[in-house]
Chain A
Amino acid sequence: MEVPYDRLPSATFEDLALPLFDQLYNFAHWLTQDASEAEDLVQETYAKALRGFSGFQVGTNFRAWMFRILRNSFLTSRTGLKSTVALADDADETIPSAEPTPEDSLIAQANRESVRHALRELSVPFREVLLLCEVEEMSYEEISQTLTIPIGTVMSRLSRARKALRVRLQAKLQGGPDGV
């Protein structure tokens, strides 16, 4: 049964929200690509979450709720608005065929910095879905709640994001200085 938050002990917000601090900051930094903007975004997220906590339904996913607030705040920020303009092209970008081939063994050798570089180059929709899935280890269901998209879209976007990342990594490893 879902119970409105205001009937629960008041410290629950801290108990639930503080452990997410590092994860939210990491995600914010990936979205904004800037430390100071990430701090503002995290601060805004906590302020909004605290204000909106009475509306939070216990039993629903708190982590997904916090990440959703952060992401929505980002999308309405200046940097976020810019990224969504670029997003239309990016989301539909034609990804060259990147069927897993023996070349994939190269990915295994890719160092951390080259993966980060490739991630930074991805569009926000691709970057965020990969981060939520791999770094936050969210289920498809949680990702669907965070991004407010259907699970089917989560699956197809993840698949395309992975292909896009693989293509970028392969390109770097085969020619760029960021390789092994």
Chain B
Amino acid sequence: MACESWSSKLDAYVDGELASPEASAVAEHLRQCAACTADALGRTQLKRSIAIAGKAYAPSAEFRSKMMQSINSKSPRKRLWLWRPLMATAGLLIALAALFLYWNQRNTERTRAYSELTDLHVATLASTTPVDVISTDRHTVKPWFQGKLPFTFDLPEVQGTEFTLVGGRVAYFEQSPGAHLIYQLRKHEISVFIFQDRGTMSFPSGARPELSFSSESWVKNGLRYFVVGDVSAHDIEALSQLLQGAG
């Protein structure tokens, strides 16, 4: 015989209607009481028998098709106009997805270009011979690139500013040679990269404080400039303006 105090809860227990602390209490009791376990099992079996036996009647095919037609014909006009917002929504979603993919792609390209050039900057500074031409004189550095690059560029006069030209070397970015110039500002090194602009490259600009580097990029006379360093964005901008005003 099942325990009277528990058997009143067994229906709700097998129906999954007991709150969790109560259900746990019943489960705990069932582990210890064979009579109640048999009772709960009987109730579960009865539930299952009714669930199986209760699925007894299916509508005839004729009745089903008649009802489907009847329900569908009740609102044919509404169904048509429903397609329009649906199509519009789908179109909008596709456009948004395309835009997102495009921006994502652009963003990835930018991040990649940024990372590559920043890596180049860091690797060069870590090298024992960071520059191939050592000179603070732009009239020495610029001619050094002649014959090494398929383009020429102008460098600003930095005398009288806080910046000092350290030197330069040939760098490669996306299989193309370019100029890598290093400037110094209060013992901080700043890299200036100059490449032919292909229009396909996209660069970020502005400070990237999360990486402790600031950068600036622009295109002038078909050349892409990229300035990067661990100085403040303000200093990067100052050097950028000098370079932009050169020539």
Q: Which A positions have Cβ atoms within 8 angstroms of B? A: 9-11, 13-14, 17-18, 21-22, 25-26, 29-30, 35, 38-39, 42-43, 46, 50, 99-100, 102, 104-105, 107-108, 110, 112-113, 115-116, 119, 130-131, 133-135, 137, 139-140, 155, 158-159, 162, 165-166
Contacts and interface: CB of A to CB of B under 8 A. Distances in A.
Contacts of B74: 50
Contact of A162 (B43, B52, B79): B43
Given A22-B59, A30-B57, A10 B50 contact: no
B109 interface: no
Nearest to A166: B46
B51 A9 contact: no
A25 B11 contact: no
Contacts of B71: 14, 17-18, 46, 50
B38 A131 contact: no
Contacts of B59: 21-22, 25, 39, 42
B12 interface: yes
Contacts, number: 121
B55 A135 contact: yes
B75 A9 contact: no
Given A100-B42, A104-B38, A162-B46, A135 B54 contact: yes
Given A112-B53, A162-B43, A155 B11 contact: yes
Interface in B18-72: 38-39, 42-43, 45-47, 49-60, 63-64, 67-68, 70-72
What's the dominant secondary structure at chain A's contact region? helix
Contact of B2 (A10, A99, A105): A99
Contacts of B47: 133-134
Contacts of B11: 155, 158-159, 162
Contacts of A38: 57
Contact of B51 (A35, A105, A135, A166): A135
B85 interface: yes
Contact of B45 (A102, A108, A113): A108
Interface residues of B, number: 40
B38 A30 contact: no
A42 B78 CA distance: 23
B61 to A, nearest CB: 12
Given A29-B57, A140-B17, A102 B2 contact: no
Contacts of B43: 100, 162
A26 B63 CA distance: 13
B1 interface: yes
Given A100-B39, A113-B53, A130-B54, 20 more contacts: A10-B82, A25-B63, A30-B57, A42-B63, A46-B71, A50-B71, A50-B74, A99-B7, A105-B42, A108-B45, A110-B49, A115-B52, A115-B53, A116-B54, A119-B54, A131-B50, A134-B50, A135-B51, A155-B12, A158-B11
A166 B43 CA distance: 10
A29 B63 CA distance: 13
Contacts of A159: 11
Given A13-B75, A39-B63, A107 B49 contact: yes
B150 to A, nearest CB: 61
B115 to A, nearest CB: 47
A13 B74 CA distance: 11
Contacts of B49: 107-108, 110, 112, 115
A112 B63 CA distance: 26
Contacts of B72: 14
